């Protein structure tokens, strides 16, 4: 059976503790299969005991900061700062026995940017690091990105030995940006042997990643899951905007997705 994960941010333990508590209850009742925790920089010491008390023993995947939080692997001069920003993710992974830490490639396009991202990724020297494919453009930083194509991710994997997180929405957005067939692109990514996936709904013709709840967009979610993931796959429900009140929208999502893939 495919496993669906709920995503929390470390800031939820500071600004939205009721949601963190609701997530804890749902995960311990096995309404979700695992936790994905986005580890913002420099919060570890403040919340480590709270996180440990709530989620120690829960299957967890960690997501590292990215360029929005100042971790950009493509900037050579930022290597030391990038290491510091990654440290919180590594410490949360240690705390919760996570086997994967998702880390984005950096900003910019061209061989030099890609090569520097690969160099820094490898220099982090952590076997848990898991590269994620990106869309061609980040709406938050207003920057073009690399790690978008199958060839770029293949090179990342070959050069670093990284695991791979296939983000379906990023792949669809990237395919639309380059005017390639989305299912041909997804077939190429599938051949790289992803260790896990990110899944939301969205506009199948768009270049923007919208993180819609399941059924609110026009992605063929049944085809994405059934054709491009295997039984037992880990799929994080990377959905929603704003400050959530409780996990009910994600419980609705997991019911929806399990129903349509049955």
**The predicted structure's pLDDT at residue 111:** 97
**The predicted structure's pLDDT at residue 75:** 98
Total domains in the chain come to 1
**The predicted structure's pLDDT at residue 140:** 85
Q: Which residues pair with 248 in a beta bridge?
A: none
Any idea what the CATH number is for the domain that residue 201 is in? 3.20.20.150
Long-range (24+ apart) CB contacts under 8 A made by 28-33 are 28/58, 31/247, 31/251, 31/254, 32/4, 32/5, 32/6, 32/247, 32/250, 32/254, 33/3, 33/4, 33/5, 33/59, 33/234
**Domain that residue 207 falls in:** 3-261
**The predicted structure's pLDDT at residue 241:** 81
**The predicted structure's pLDDT at residue 242:** 83
pTM: 0.98
Chunked in runs of 10, what are the mean pLDDT values of the chain (262 residues)?
97 96 98 98 96 98 97 98 97 99 97 98 98 95 96 98 99 98 99 99 97 98 99 96 92 98 96
203-224 pLDDT, tens digit per residue, is 999 999 999 999 999 999 999 9
**The predicted structure's pLDDT at residue 121:** 99
């Amino acid at each position: 059976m495919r496993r669906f994960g709920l995503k929390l941010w470390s800031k939820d333990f500071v600004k939205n503790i009721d949601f963190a508590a609701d997530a804890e209850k749902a995960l311990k009742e096995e309404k979700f299969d695992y936790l994905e925790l986005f580890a913002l920089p420099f919060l570890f010491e403040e919340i480590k005991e709270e996180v440990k008390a709530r989620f120690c023993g829960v299957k967890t995947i960690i997501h590292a900061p990215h360029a929005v939080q100042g971790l950009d692997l493509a900037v050579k001069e930022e290597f030391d700062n990038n290491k510091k920003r990654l440290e919180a993710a590594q410490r949360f992974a240690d705390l919760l026995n996570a086997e994967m830490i998702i880390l984005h490639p950096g900003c910019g396009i061209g061989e030099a940017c890609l090569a520097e991202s690969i160099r820094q990724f490898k220099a982090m020297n952590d076997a848990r690091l898991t590269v994620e494919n990106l869309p061609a453009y980040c709406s938050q930083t207003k920057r073009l990105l690399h790690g978008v194509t199958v060839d770029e991710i293949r090179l990342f994997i070959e050069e670093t030995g990284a695991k791979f997180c296939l983000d379906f929405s990023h792949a669809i957005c990237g395919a639309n940006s380059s005017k390639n067939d989305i299912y041909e692109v997804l077939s190429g990514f599938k051949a790289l042997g992803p260790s896990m996936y990110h899944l939301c709904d969205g506009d199948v013709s768009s270049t923007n990643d919208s993180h819609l709840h399941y059924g609110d967009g026009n992605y063929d979610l049944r085809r994405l899951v059934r054709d491009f993931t295997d039984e037992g796959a880990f799929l994080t429900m990377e959905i929603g905007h704003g400050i959530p009140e409780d996990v009910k929208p994600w419980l609705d999502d997991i019911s929806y997705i399990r129903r349509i893939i049955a």
